[in-house]
Amino acid sequence: MIPEIRVPEVVGFAFPNDIHITWSLMIVLYPYLTGIVAGAFVISALYHLFGREELRPISRFSMATSFAFMVVATLPLLNHLGHPERALNIIFTPNFSSAMAGFGILYNTYLLILLLEVWFVWRKDIILLARRNRGLKRKIYAAMALWTYDISPQALEKDHSAIRVLTAIGIPAACMLHGYVGFLFGALKANPWWSTPLMPIIFLASGMTSGVAMLIILYQVAMKVSGQKIESETIASLNRWLWLFMIVTVSLELLEIITLAYEQSEAWEAIHPLLTTKLAFSFISVQLILGSLIPFILLMIAVTMNRYLHDRVRNTLSFVSALLLLIQVFAMRWNVVIGGQLLSKSFRGFRETYSPQLFEKEGILAAAGIFCLAFVALFVFAKILPVFKALEEPRTVKLEAEAKRS
Amino acid sequence: MGKETTRRGFLEAAATTALAITLGRKAGLAAEAGLSEYNWEDYSYVYLVDASKCIGCGMCVQACQKENRVPDGFFRTWVERYRIGEGGRVEVDSPNGGINGFPATILDFKVTKGLFVPKLCNHCKNTPCTQVCPVGASYTTKDGVVLVDDKRCIGCGYCVQACPYGSRYLHPVSHVADKCTWCYHRITRGLKPACVMACPVGARAFGNMKNLQDPVRKTIATQPVLVLQPELLTRPNCYYKGLDKEVR
């Protein structure tokens, strides 16, 4: 049976096939998730590789967040594909002239690096948990430790070196994974709203912004819920990074628009009305004012007046800015993915706005469900392994080890 | 040594038999499909639209929808109407792809010239759609036609985004990319595409660049022709006569 096609309103003239939105809310969600993956990983790298001690309290947590979002990142893609059962064709028989064929290599490489790094970071905890537990639990932890129980200082030193090496490879891998999504859009000459070499860099910068913002929110919530203290040094540092990343992001986003406007090319003739009519709310109101200008001011206060701020004020400024920036980055993804499709390739008209339905296959509920799954994944991770503080060895074991050494 | 020879002999015989069976089967299938004499090396297809002849009747769109079972709301071919006045006033429309012709509507400016422009896949030589297909489901045949393998397509929609002419769509039932095939099932049997056959005024023509006597080849060689969006360097195999600068 042929499903009923909702024929949307068109302003001006659009090519008849252009009125359908091929890339839905799912394709908005996918780069949103991978951006958080990359951003959270960079924060963990700042501690592991660049020695930012003030980020130690969330170094493990940021890696767990990166991992949790990475695990669910493919779900929107699978839900979007017309034939998800053929999805593995991309990995096994890629057509290398397609940028999308890079997905298999980039996603799997980064996932492998992340898996290995998670294992090395938590190896000692896994072993301690295997020792503490009995029965099935013990077997599971033992399997996770790959049945090696070596936590001698030499072994831990090796773990540490492995973490450094993996982080060093992981940063470019995370950037490639997320930057390539920007490239998918940026390298399409058919669409002037997408076609710019700035696109991968904008995606990367906004990915960093959303990753740090997500960490700020999750960290504050997790500390509140568990009744622990929010480290002011950590929040102050995250504020600085968030401010830096958001300035880079917004500058690049504006640069793209200003260049287009200044060039006065054919593309601008089509993009100008797109921005001022169809995307007026999501671009100007949400992305630029609510999501950029307000958090810029709030973070400026938080960063420049840091030492005068009471912890509660700093945390609130940070939390609100992070929330607004998460909205900003989502709006940016929306404006790119959906905005680019509202504009017809005839350059003469627009499709009426796309509003996803609540219950459709690629609708709001499905998107919200997948997004929530990332938090579920993080929660499960935290149930299995400690995401904030490393486990301590029992005193007796420590004494025995010392006795052995002496 | 003797044993060795026997094994080689056996393998050779087996390989020959397998080859004979495969070739025989292929020949049988080809003959069944009426393709026995078709050699795609002998063809390089080309399409020519004469916009000055088109009357906007929509017969071509109807023929295409019927021949290829194109779902409602999607188009492998369509017709655009351009009404142009002085001072840069342009009105373009294509109600339901022009399938039922064009209603007479009154504009708020004086139309000084007008034209109908049939559109379809340009079967580009340097095509962005096959370039971006992540699994190689979109491909170009040796006779120059851009096709989609619907058994291989994963339905990602990247080709739809990459086509600057808007000639692709995701099929609402099969969930794979779909597009004009120049009626490949017809042209490989020596027939013309359905749209060419249906055109009452000869605005659409189909030819073979490898045939020296082909009238379409001669027109392209000797008369002024244009392609759509030449600045994108997609090198279309679909040529136009009688276009206006307003057409993209």
Residue B2 has a pLDDT of 43
Work out the minimum CA distance from B85 to partner chain A, whole angstroms: 16
Q: Residue B140 pairs with which residues in a beta bridge?
A: B146
Task: Pick the residue from chain A with its C-alpha nearest to B168.
Answer: A17
The three-point CA angle A39-A41-A42 to 5° equals 65
Residue B17 has a pLDDT of 63
pLDDT of B3 higher than 50: no
Work out the minimum CA distance from B102 to partner chain A, whole angstroms: 14
Test A345 with B164 for CB contact under 8 angstroms. yes
| Chain A contact set for B128 (CB, 8 A) | 188-190
Length of chain A: 406
Q: Which amino acid is at A61?
A: F
Joined together, the tokens standing for residue B208 give 């073979």
Q: Which amino acid is at A7?
A: V
Distance CA(A373)–CA(A381), nearest Å, equals 12
Distance CA(B247)–CA(B116), nearest Å, equals 10
Name the 3-class secondary structure at B82: strand
Test A101 with B134 for CB contact under 8 angstroms. yes
Q: How many CB atoms lie within 10 A of CB B222?
A: 8
pLDDT of B21 higher than 80: no
Joined together, the tokens standing for residue A123 give 């190896």
Residue B7 has a pLDDT of 66
Q: Do the Cβ atoms of A206 and A39 come closer than 8 Å?
A: no
| Chain A contact set for B78 (CB, 8 A) | 15-16
Computed over every residue of chain B, the mean pLDDT equals 91
ipTM of the complex: 0.92
Helix axes A25-48, A59-72, angle to 10 degrees: 150
B92 closest CB neighbour out of A13, A90, A101: A13
Work out the minimum CA distance from B92 to partner chain A, whole angstroms: 6
Q: Residue B83 pairs with which residues in a beta bridge?
A: B91, B114
| Chain A contact set for B248 (CB, 8 A) | 345-348
Task: Pick the residue from chain B with its C-alpha nearest to A86.
Answer: B154
| Chain A contact set for B94 (CB, 8 A) | 13, 15-16
Residue A391 has a pLDDT of 87
Residues 6+ apart with CB under 8 A from B32: none
Q: Which residue has the tokens 């819920």?
A: A225
Its sign, for the CA torsion A165, A168, A173, A178, is positive
Model confidence band, residue B151 (pLDDT cutoffs 50, 70, 90): very high
| Chain A contact set for B176 (CB, 8 A) | 82-83
Q: How many CB atoms lie within 10 A of CB A113?
A: 20
Q: Which residue has the tokens 């006569």?
A: B241
Work out the minimum CA distance from A387 to partner chain B, whole angstroms: 36
φ and ψ at residue B130, rounded to 5 degrees: -75, -30
The Cα diameter of chain A in Å comes to 84
Number of A/B CB contacts below 8 angstroms equals: 135
Test B156 with A95 for CB contact under 8 angstroms. no
Q: Which amino acid is at A111?
A: L
Joined together, the tokens standing for residue B16 give 């020959």
Task: Pick the residue from chain B with its C-alpha nearest to A337.
Answer: B161
A188 closest CB neighbour out of B93, B161, B167: B161
Task: Dump pLDDT digits (tens) for B23-44.
Answer: 555 555 555 555 568 999 999 9
Q: Which residue has the tokens 């480290």?
A: A231
Task: Pick the residue from chain A with its C-alpha nearest to B75.
Answer: A17
pLDDT of B233 higher than 50: yes
Name the 3-class secondary structure at B170: strand
Residues 6+ apart with CB under 8 A from A260: A192, A267, A268, A271
Q: What is the mean pLDDT of residues B111-119?
A: 97
Joined together, the tokens standing for residue A308 give 């005068």
φ and ψ at residue A72, rounded to 5 degrees: -95, -5
Name the 3-class secondary structure at A171: helix
pLDDT of B1 higher than 50: no
φ and ψ at residue B116, rounded to 5 degrees: -105, 135
What are the residue ranges of helices labelled H in A264-343?
266-273, 294-304, 311-342
Name the 3-class secondary structure at B183: coil
Considering chain A, what percentage of its residues have pLDDT values greater than 70? 96
Test B75 with A16 for CB contact under 8 angstroms. yes
Distance CA(A187)–CA(A99), nearest Å, equals 9
Q: Which amino acid is at B173?
A: V
Distance CA(B19)–CA(B11), nearest Å, equals 12
Test B248 with A82 for CB contact under 8 angstroms. no
Residue B22 has a pLDDT of 58
Residue A394 has a pLDDT of 76
Model confidence band, residue B11 (pLDDT cutoffs 50, 70, 90): low
Q: How many CB atoms lie within 10 A of CB A305?
A: 12
Residues of A near B (Cβ–Cβ under 8 Å) read 1-3, 5, 7, 12-13, 15-18, 20, 22-23, 80-84, 86-87, 89-90, 93-95, 97-101, 103, 184, 188-191, 340-341, 344-348
Q: Do the Cβ atoms of B173 and A39 come closer than 8 Å?
A: no
Report CA-CA distances (Å) from B166 to A334, A337, B119, B231, B239: 21, 17, 9, 16, 17
Q: Do the Cβ atoms of B182 and B206 come closer than 8 Å?
A: yes
The three-point CA angle A394-A399-A403 to 5° equals 150
Distance CA(A243)–CA(B149), nearest Å, equals 48
Name the 3-class secondary structure at B49: strand
| Chain B contact set for A9 (CB, 8 A) | none
Our measurement of the distance from residue A95's CA atom to the centroid of its chain's CA atoms, rounded to an integer in Å, reads 27
Residues 6+ apart with CB under 8 A from A61: A215, A218, A219, A222, A387, A388
Q: Do the Cβ atoms of B235 and B124 come closer than 8 Å?
A: yes
Q: Do the Cβ atoms of B63 and B107 come closer than 8 Å?
A: no
Q: How many CB atoms lie within 10 A of CB B69?
A: 10
Residue A9 has a pLDDT of 80
Q: In chain A, which residues have pLDDT < 50?
A: none
Q: Which residue has the tokens 């003469």?
A: A348
